[in-house]
Amino acid sequence: MMIPGLLYLLINNYLPMFGIFIAFKNVNFAKGFFKSEWVGFDNFEYLFKTSDAYIITRNTILYNLVFIVIGTILAIACAILLNEIKNKVLLRTYQAIITMPHLISMVIVSYLVFAFLSAENGFMNRTILPLFGIEEGISWYTEPKYWPFILTLVYFWKSVGYSSIVFFAALLGIDEEYYEAAKIDGASRWKQILHITIPLMMPVIIMLTLLAVGRIFYSDFGLFYQVPLNSGPLFETTSTIDTYVFRGLIGSGDIGMSTAAGVYQSIVGFILVLLANYLVRRYNKDHALF
């Protein structure tokens, strides 16, 4: 029964690792990958010597920090809310509603966002802003200052519901006897959540947070590329390492450079996971991944 999953893991996650040598070569398709010239760390210089290196690194890290911290809090809150719903029909309905956005492709999401933010016919300019006395519409796709909030809201709308189901599954594993004992002692529902639910969920919270920290140098490509419609004026607040490398790959066709970016992200992510796990072990060994 494990063979299909192991084969997928091997083909999708481990076999590509042999291509790491491409990051150190100037790929010439006429010569092939193995006979192309070795260039050492020249491909890595593309990320660090460019004038946009600070912007793309800043955006990638700060967005992910916000996504991890606030996203985790919102997901836990939704999970606790689900746990409080005792009506099974209402529970199933709510679960379907909050997980539905996760099933929608980012292409469809980008169209939905455009329907809201289109300068000429968007719902914001046509309906919402006039309610506040703002008759002149905003050119959303040329104003970078709004997009940190827009991208954050879109990310939470699409991901929090699905993440909450993971925490909800952890909640279902908590023995009801803990809550019954707390009720006998006179604990309110809030104190039960604070002193029983959250502490018993902590191993799952820490595990998912550690995994998220390992991908802090990655970004949701669809969110940062498709939703802003790859608009040039927005690059200051929407450009991340992934989108920048993709644009460079499309413009130059430099596979070595894009591979170097992937290696850089993986190594830094691995180091961050080790560091975060070490800090967790210092606090509580039982909560650490390893």
Does 53 score more than 90 pLDDT? no
This prediction's pTM:
0.85
At 147 the pLDDT is 95
* Mean pLDDT for the chain overall: 87
Does 224 score more than 90 pLDDT? yes
Distance (Å, whole) CA 3 – CA 9: 10
**Once rounded to an integer, what is the mean pLDDT over residues 75-79?**
91
At 283, give phi and psi (nearest 5°): -85, -45
**Once rounded to an integer, what is the mean pLDDT over residues 2-29?**
89
At 87 the pLDDT is 66
At 154 the pLDDT is 94
At 3 the pLDDT is 94
Distance (Å, whole) CA 44 – CA 261: 7
Contact (CB, 8 A) for 116 and 149: no
- pLDDT tens for each residue of 169-204: 888 888 889 988 998 888 888 899 999 999 999 889
**Once rounded to an integer, what is the mean pLDDT over residues 156-176?**
89
Give me the helix-helix angle, 42-49 and 241-252, nearest 10°. Answer: 120
Percent of residues, the chain, with pLDDT higher than 70: 99
At 249 the pLDDT is 80
> pLDDT band at residue 71, thresholds of 50, 70 and 90?
very high
**Once rounded to an integer, what is the mean pLDDT over residues 87-115?**
82
Question: What residues are paired with 37 via a beta bridge?
Answer: 26
> pLDDT band at residue 233, thresholds of 50, 70 and 90?
very high
- pLDDT tens for each residue of 234-270: 999 999 988 988 887 887 777 888 888 888 888 888 8
SS3 at position 259 = helix
Structure tokens at 278: 């070490």
SS3 string, 24-82, reads HEECCCCCCCCCCEECCCHHHHHHHHCCCHHHHHHHHHHHHHHHHHHHHHHHHHHHHHH
Q: Where are the alpha helices (DSSP H) in 132-254?
A: 147-172, 176-184, 189-192, 198-213, 221, 235-238, 241-252
At 155 the pLDDT is 94
Greater model confidence, 290 or 166: 166
* Structural domain spans, the chain: 39-287
**Once rounded to an integer, what is the mean pLDDT over residues 136-149?**
91
**Once rounded to an integer, what is the mean pLDDT over residues 120-138?**
85
CATH number assigned to the domain with residue range 39-287, chosen from the 4 options 1.10.1740.10, 3.30.70.890, 3.40.50.970, 1.10.3720.10: 1.10.3720.10
Closest CA to 148 of 247, 51, 236: 236
